[in-house]
Amino acid sequence: MKITALEEYGLRCLLRVAEQDDDEALSAADIAEQEGLSLSYTQKIMRVLSKGELVESRRGVRGGYTLADEPAQITVGDAIRVLGGIFEVEDICERHTGEFDQCANRCNCAIRPVWAHISRFVVETLDGIDMQMLMDDQKSVAQHLQEQIPGPARQAPPSRSH
């Protein structure tokens, strides 16, 4: 899975807004300064998050951005969908057709279940992490992930003899 700059920075900007006290707006300039981003890029990110209804924009002296919902109601999956999209099996099958209009293996593809399994795992993982959780420290988040979302088996692959 490839994470774009927009997804990474967008998630970080969203977290900055989530960390604000209730009903306290955070300006794009403050977010840009805290994240080391240009103001114009931060404004672009915040427009995307606003259009995706994850943040609300306020004008005026006390203007800025607030979360559109409670931090526990907004997941990383929500943010990634708004910021660029989540890896979907159909995307792979439609993009990699060689010189054909459709994949040559569309009727009987042994690879498709692999991509489907990985896609489900990624979606479930991202949807299982909310902004409230990300407001904890790194160790707490890692612990939660280890407890809630089972990772791949931790054993060495069998050796191949030639």
The partner residues of 55 in beta bridges, in order of sequence, read 67
pLDDT values of the chain reduced to their tens digit, one per residue, 162 residues: 678 899 999 999 999 999 998 778 999 999 999 999 999 999 999 999 999 999 999 988 888 999 999 999 999 999 999 998 776 666 666 666 667 777 666 667 787 788 888 888 888 889 999 999 999 989 999 988 888 766 554 444 555 554
Given a contact cutoff of 8 angstroms between Cβ atoms, the answer to whether 66 and 23 are in contact is yes
- Provide the CATH topology of domain 5-137: Arc Repressor Mutant, subunit A (1.10.10)
- HSE on the CB side for 18, CA within 13 Å? 24
Rounded to whole angstroms, the Cα distance separating 46 from 56 reads: 9
| Domain boundaries defined on the chain | 5-137
CA separation for the pair 88, 92 (Å, rounded): 7
With tokens 């030639």, the residue in question is: 162
- pLDDT tens figures, 110-128: 877 888 888 888 888 899 9
Q: What is the pLDDT of residue 155?
A: 47
Model-level pTM? 0.80
Read off the DSSP letter of residue 131: H
- Helix or strand or coil: residue 86? coil
Crossing angle (nearest 10°) for helices 39-51 and 76-83: 110
